[in-house]
Amino acid sequence: TVAAPAHCGGIPVYGIPGTNQERTFLACKPDAVQRGLVGDIIQRFEKRGYKLVGLKMVWPSETMAAEHYADLKKKPFFPGLVKFFSSGPIVCMCWEGKDIIKQGRQMLGETQPLASKPGSIRGDYSIDLGRNICHGSDSPEAAEHELKMWFPEGVSDYSKSVDAWVYE
């Protein structure tokens, strides 16, 4: 068994041993907040059956934005990305459910809005690469790192009786 970090209510950040229940970090970027898309984004995951276990608004500093996107620091667009990500509040979310890391990415769409299918969040609401509305962890390792960074205080560990109607 994997030791469960205390900040995650006893469940390991990116998985519950013996199941494919995962947790991921999703965020509504500053453009989503400004455009009033937060409720819609949350509703898509709720309606699908995923469980919201962490939710808060944070206005990231440039330091936090740079840390969040540290993997991209050599890219030419990095300074603009950091400036944008710290330009206003974001909504930080931790979602839990079967295959949520991969499914979350599919629900977001592709990084490039032009390649994002209608029906995905980016495919429905975005046009430009640098204003693509939402963020989602792209691997279990990224989910663990990002959840530790954005939810150091932990998330809410609770069960939902409706899960018997979501999972067989």
What residues make contact with ligand ADP under the rule CB under 6 A?
Answer: 72, 77, 81, 111, 129-130, 132, 135, 138
Query: Measured from the CB of residue 135, what is the shortest distance to ligand ADP in angstroms?
Result: 6
Question: Is 77 within any annotated ligand binding site?
Answer: yes
Beta strand residue intervals within 2-105, DSSP E: 21-28, 51-58, 90-98
81 vs 91, which CB is nearer to ligand ADP? 81
Beta strand residue intervals within the chain, DSSP E: 21-28, 51-58, 90-98, 134-136
Judge whether 107 and 118 are in contact, CB under 8 Å: no
Q: What residue type is assigned to position 142 of the chain?
A: A
Query: Measured from the CB of residue 132, what is the shortest distance to ligand ADP in angstroms?
Result: 5
Question: Is 20 within any annotated ligand binding site?
Answer: no
Question: Is 122 within any annotated ligand binding site?
Answer: yes
Question: Is 35 within any annotated ligand binding site?
Answer: no
Query: Measured from the CB of residue 5, what is the shortest distance to ligand ADP in angstroms?
Result: 24
Judge whether 153 and 7 are in contact, CB under 8 Å: yes
7 vs 117, which CB is nearer to ligand ADP? 117
Distance of CA 145 to the CA centre of its chain: 12
Q: How far is CA 140 from CA 13, 37, 112, in A?
A: 9, 26, 22
Query: Measured from the CB of residue 159, what is the shortest distance to ligand ADP in angstroms?
Result: 30
**Residue facing ligand ADP at closest CB distance:** 111
Catalytic residue positions? 135
Distance of CA 126 to the CA centre of its chain: 17
Which residues participate in the annotated binding site for ATP? Answer: 29, 77, 105, 111, 122, 132
